[in-house]
């Protein structure tokens, strides 16, 4: 009996040791795997918008370039009316008019709300959106900018925050910051502004359907845009 008990005790000890080794191995594996699962960098104070699925995206455009109708939208990322347009109108335009092949959607930066400011947050945000576009995430960055708006020239879009947004989106932050510091797309931002002036932009958001402005001075509703698209059909 004593031998059997000793044998059982020996077996139990070995089982405990094996269990501890296995548990240790699992902990090591989890330590290696978990960082990969949660690979999105955490940055304090950045609002992460709800993911919006957009089809047939090419840079700042969405949809079929051969569609019979073209919708041009001019916005300033510091514009509260643009934030409202993006959140309440744009999604329906994309879903019901662009994805159906009726229209082609083109975004333009119209950075003007910092003309009397030294921080130039409208221009810096516009530039940042194009640096994000360089890495294939213009629209994700576009949504993040609007989600984190908290007033005009109040520091929401200072350079350090713009880099934070890029980091949260998983962009190459070093490449993004180099793009910003270089001012790589300053001329593009300025050219977009000049185009808006030539087309008759009177404020933001300004929406054009086949070159004709819709509801100047107001935020056009989905119904306004849909009616204009229908009227412009060949």
Residues above pLDDT 70, as percent of the chain: 82
Q: Which two tokens stand for residue 106?
A: 């083109």
Looking only at the bridges linking them, the beta strands covering 61-62 and 103-109 are antiparallel
The reported pLDDT for the residue numbered 16 is 41
Spell 6-41 as b/e; 16+ CB within 10 A means b.
eeeeeeeeeeeeeeeeeeeeeeeeeeeeeeeeeeee
Rounded to whole angstroms, how far apart are CA atoms 90 and 142?
12
| Predicted pLDDT of residue 44 | 74
For residues 59-64, average pLDDT:
98
Tokens 């708006």 found at: 149
Q: What is the pLDDT of residue 22?
A: 43
pLDDT band at 14; cut points 50, 70, 90 = low
Q: Using the predicted structure, report yes or no on whether residue 34 has a pLDDT greater than 60.
A: no
- Mean pLDDT for 45-50 is 92
Mean of pLDDT values over 35-64: 80
Q: How confident is the model at residue 179 (pLDDT cuts 50, 70, 90)?
A: very high
Residue 42 confidence (pLDDT): 60
pLDDT band at 32 (very low <50, low <70, confident <90, very high): very low
Residues linked to residue 69 through DSSP beta bridges, in sequence order:
103
Segment 160-175 mean pLDDT: 97
Residue 177: CB atoms within 10 Å: 19
Written out in words, the top-level CATH class of the domain with range 57-232 is alpha beta
**C-alpha distance from residue 202 to each of 4, 210, 232 (Å):** 94, 17, 22
pLDDT at 172: 98
Flag the least confident range among 38-47, 136-145, 155-164, 224-233.
38-47
Output the CA–CA distances (angstroms, integers) from residue 63 to 96, 97, 187, 198, in the order listed: 12, 9, 25, 24
Whether residue 190 has pLDDT greater than 50: yes
Is the distance from CB of 89 to CB of 55 less than 8 angstroms?
no
**What is the per-residue pLDDT across 119-144, written as a single tens digit (0 to 9) for each?**
899 999 999 999 999 999 999 999 99
């Amino acid at each position: 009996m004593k031998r059997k008990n000793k044998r059982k005790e020996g077996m139990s000890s070995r089982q405990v040791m094996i269990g501890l080794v296995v548990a240790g191995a699992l902990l090591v594996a989890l330590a290696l795997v978990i960082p990969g699962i949660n690979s999105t960098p955490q940055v304090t104070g950045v609002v992460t918008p709800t993911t919006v699925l957009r089809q047939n995206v090419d840079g700042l455009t969405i949809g079929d370039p051969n569609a019979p109708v073209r919708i041009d939208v001019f916005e300033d990322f510091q514009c509260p009316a643009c934030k409202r347009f993006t959140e309440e109108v744009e999604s329906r335009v994309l879903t019901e008019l662009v994805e159906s092949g009726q229209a082609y959607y083109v975004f333009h930066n119209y950075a003007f709300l910092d003309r009397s400011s030294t921080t130039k947050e409208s221009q810096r945000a516009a530039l940042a959106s194009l640096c994000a576009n360089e890495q294939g995430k213009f629209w994700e960055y576009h949504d993040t900018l609007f989600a984190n708006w908290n007033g005009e020239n109040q520091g929401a879009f200072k350079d350090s925050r713009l880099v934070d947004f890029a980091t949260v989106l998983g962009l190459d932050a070093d490449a993004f910051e180099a793009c910003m510091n270089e001012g790589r797309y300053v001329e593009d931002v300025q050219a977009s502004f000049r185009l808006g002036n030539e087309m008759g932009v009177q404020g933001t958001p300004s929406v054009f359907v086949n070159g004709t402005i819709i509801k100047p001075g107001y935020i056009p509703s989905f119904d306004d845009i849909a009616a204009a698209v229908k009227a412009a059909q060949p």
